[in-house]
Amino acid sequence: MTVLIDLNSPARRPAASQPEAGAAASQPDAVAGVAAPVRRSLAGLSRDGLREALADIGVPDRELRMRVAQLFNWIYVRGAVSFEEMTTISKVLRAALAERYTLDRPEVISEQISVDGTRKWLLRMPATGPHDKGAEIECVYIPEADRGTLCVSSQVGCTLTCTFCHTGTQRLVRNLTDAEIVGQVMVARDRLGDWSVPGPNKASKAIQHDDDAAPAGRLVTNIVLMGMGEPLYNFDNVKAAVDTMSDGDGIGLGKRRITLSTAGVAPMIGKAGEEIGAMLAISLHATTNEIRDGLVPLNKKYKIDEVLEACRNYPGLSNAKRITFEYVMLKGVNDSPAHARELVRLLKGIPAKINLIPFNPWPGTKYECSDWDTIEAFSEIVFRAGYASPVRTPRGRDIFAACGQLKSETEKLRARARLMLETGGDPAAEAAS
């Protein structure tokens, strides 16, 4: 059974008298036809972003460091939704902040809760221009006994067109900003009630260690960039978002708890290790270039050998810090015992985990999930080679929640078309942007 809560119904809309409470209220009233400037949200911004926002309202240089630290704590430890509640900040500054900024999150359009506790949110990002109604993305929370994993998106749609992936059927609209990536974590923690309790002890309950035990009191303990999009095609924003999420004075999820999943953009893998430093997952899915070309078209550009070579050189690898190889089980395509043996051979020498993912079918797909016996036989070969518990249990099937097959039904304007609209069809302006 699926519980679908429509958060757009009038009863659930934030009251208009609480300007910081929701995106719907973020546009101050226009006076006599003159549009007032839209207040920007600070929720999701990096330290640098907050610094700029404070400087923009005239906070003197010498105070910036301290003010950023205060805002960072209120936003990322306490989950503040209004400047009013920021009692460690002077009233004057709070008023100045509220005049120019909000703490709006991406708008929650719907929330679905699966029988197994998995939750899926459809979120609408603030509009980027007059002709943008606001891109929609999905975000999934998967609770397990020892952890709670949040699957976030890095782009709206995806350019990769992997043939078994639902997102691949959607046209890319745009990259998400770092604030929009972090905003997904903010929404999940809001909806789950996962912020530190207010009080004199402002300890951030940071999760810096790689302890497998459940960190006390935290519901979102891990983040995977496995939703819509290819994170390595949105490198700078993903890097900034991971920095914000892993900052020990804020959300405090150590980089060992954040996993970046890529279809294999080989030249960016080493750079990701050095500059982002998150855990790495590779969507491998096949053991020959011929099969992988048909599943992950990016393979035509970066072949299996090249991707695995980049993995071998991934900084900091050890048995305690392994690369996860994802392998979606597709009936009659990549699921034979010979494929399993080849997989083991290919990964030799790389500290690796293998995740066998039962294919999650979607309407119109030409693929089927492998039979259970086939998956077991495959898994047995992988297991005998020393890789433990490799089959990922499907979660939230009743709400169509598998990461990587997220898809929103609205706002599918191509980036080009949207730019044309925004620039009034001026090709020069379009080219310059």
Catalytic residues: 138, 403
Among residues 189, 57, 158, 194, which one has the least CA distance to residue 415?
158
The interface with ligand SAH within residues 38-77 (CB under 6 A) comprises none
Q: How many residues bind ligand SAH (CB under 6 A)?
A: 19
What's the sign of the alpha-carbon dihedral 90, 95, 100, 104? Answer: positive
Q: Which of 20, 243, 326, 411 binds ligand SAH (CB under 6 A)?
A: 326
The interface with ligand SAH within residues 335-394 (CB under 6 A) comprises 357, 359-360, 362
Angle at CA 81, nearest 5°, toward 76 and 84? 110
Stretch of 31-39, 45-53, 162-170, 185-193 contacting ligand SAH, by CB under 6 A: 162-170
Q: How far is the CB of 376 from ligand SAH (least distance, A)?
A: 18
Q: Which residues pair with 354 in a beta bridge?
A: 325
Q: Does 165 bind ligand SAH (CB under 6 A)?
A: yes
Cβ distance to ligand SAH smaller for residue 360 or 379 = 360
Residue span 212-231 as binding mask against ligand SAH, x where in contact by CB under 6 A, dash where not = --------------x---x-
Stretch of 177-185, 237-245, 259-267, 407-415 contacting ligand SAH, by CB under 6 A: 259-267
Q: Does 261 bind ligand SAH (CB under 6 A)?
A: yes
Token pair belonging to 189: 């923690």
Backbone angles phi, psi at 400, to 5 degrees: 60, 50
Enumerate residues 6+ apart whose C-beta is below 8 A from 373. none
Cβ distance to ligand SAH smaller for residue 219 or 228 = 228
Using CB atoms, what's the residue nearest to ligand SAH?
Answer: 404
Q: How far is the CB of 73 from ligand SAH (least distance, A)?
A: 32
SS3 call for 78 = coil
Cβ distance to ligand SAH smaller for residue 252 or 358 = 358
Enumerate residues 6+ apart whose C-beta is below 8 A from 132. 411, 413, 418, 422
Q: Does 195 bind ligand SAH (CB under 6 A)?
A: no
Which residue's structure tokens are 């999701």?
44
DSSP string for 212-271: -SPPTT-S--EEEE-SSS-GGGSHHHHHHHHHHHH-TTTT-B-GGGEEEEES--HHHHHH
Q: How far is the CB of 249 from ligand SAH (least distance, A)?
A: 29
Pairwise CA distance, residues 353 & 355, whole Å: 7
Q: Which of 170, 246, 283, 408 binds ligand SAH (CB under 6 A)?
A: 283
Stretch of 125-133, 235-243, 256-264, 266-274 contacting ligand SAH, by CB under 6 A: 256-264
Token pair belonging to 376: 């077991």
Q: Which of 263, 269, 333, 340 binds ligand SAH (CB under 6 A)?
A: 263
Stretch of 134-142, 305-313, 396-404, 416-424 contacting ligand SAH, by CB under 6 A: 396-404
SS3 call for 48 = helix
Stretch of 169-177, 197-205, 269-277, 400-408 contacting ligand SAH, by CB under 6 A: 400-408
Q: How far is the CB of 123 from ligand SAH (least distance, A)?
A: 17
Q: Does 246 bind ligand SAH (CB under 6 A)?
A: no
Pairwise CA distance, residues 9 & 4, whole Å: 12
Q: How far is the CB of 62 from ligand SAH (least distance, A)?
A: 43
Backbone angles phi, psi at 232, to 5 degrees: -75, -5
Q: How far is the CB of 331 from ligand SAH (least distance, A)?
A: 12
Q: Which residues of 170-185 are buried (b: 16+ CB within 10 A; e: fewer)?
A: bbbbbbbbbbbbbbbb
Q: How far is the CB of 311 from ligand SAH (least distance, A)?
A: 13
Q: Which of 103, 328, 401, 413 binds ligand SAH (CB under 6 A)?
A: 328
Q: Which of 219, 403, 413, 419 binds ligand SAH (CB under 6 A)?
A: 403
Q: How many CB atoms lie within 10 A of CB 362?
A: 16
Among residues 99, 261, 103, 112, which one has the least CA distance to residue 183?
103
| DSSP tag of 24 | G
Cβ distance to ligand SAH smaller for residue 74 or 164 = 164
The dihedral region occupied by 293, where left means phi > 0, alpha psi between -120 and 50, and beta the remainder, is alpha
Q: How far is the CB of 68 from ligand SAH (least distance, A)?
A: 31
Interacting residues with ligand SAH (CB under 6 A):
164-166, 226, 230, 261-263, 283, 326, 328, 357, 359-360, 362, 402-405
